[in-house]
Amino acid sequence: MRGLRGKRAIVTGGGSGIGREICKRFGEEGSEVFVFDINAAGAEETARLIRAAGGEAHAHRVDITDRASVDAGVAEVERGGVIDILVNNAGWDEIKLFLDSDVDLWKKVIDINLYGPLHMHHAVLPGMVRNGRGRVINISSDAGRVDSSGEAVYSACKGGLISFTKTMARELARKGVVLNAVAPGPTDTPLFAEVAKGEMGQKIAEGLKRAIPMHRLAQPTDYPGIVCFLASDDAGFITGQVISVSGGLSMHG
């Protein structure tokens, strides 16, 4: 894709699943990749895979729920040059009916899925504005567009991230910074396997598989193409948009 070679990209949650595949694709496109993950071993493994394939990558242990950790990680990247691309991919959830959940669960879900991306935006966007350019791709969820039983707070966070993306896209349109969101459907990742534990989780997982018109869960490799496209020069006039990648589970005009 045009314009990705030599660009410097941060991907949160890059130590596994969708994030790892996104990182690998940026490496293939010639970008310098900075893998942010609370799991240092996972981040380093992703960076190793990129380097083994001939790319350039660096692992950083960053807890996106901790603003000091975010600031330190971003500052370390900026010491080597500008940040061209930010992909907010890290996320977490546990399937549980809202009335059976508690404040501690809400806090964990909100800290990771909403406050985490807010921290990253607040740390990275000033540099993009100064440089007069930048691309941000937020990995939301179709749960934030339609609904998802057992994921009320998660859905609220992902819906909030979509609205935040659109608002920032409008605020920064004349600054050379574009922001878009990708909304995955159910995906075969370690997180999904964890979320689908228990009787309720298993029932929801099976129901989702039946409901997807393509009759399969997404794979992590289904997402890097659209993410890299939105980060590329080919998508320079696209901002404030939400693109579902869900096998047709949700279809929006």
Q: How far apart are CA 187 and CA 221, in angstroms?
A: 10
SS (H, E, C) 213-242: CCCCCECHHHCHHHHHHHHCHHHCCCCCCE
Choice among 36, 154, 164, 223 that is catalytic: 154
| Short-list 36, 201, 177, CA closest to 119 | 36
* Pair of tokens at residue 230: 């939105």
| Short-list 111, 112, 73, 107, CA closest to 91 | 112
β-sheet bridge partners, residue 182: 139, 243
* Pair of tokens at residue 2: 């045009």
Amino acid identity for residue 98 in this structure: F
* Catalytic annotation present for 154: yes
Both ends of the chain: CA-CA distance in Å? 26
Instruction: Give me the active site residues, please.
Output: 154
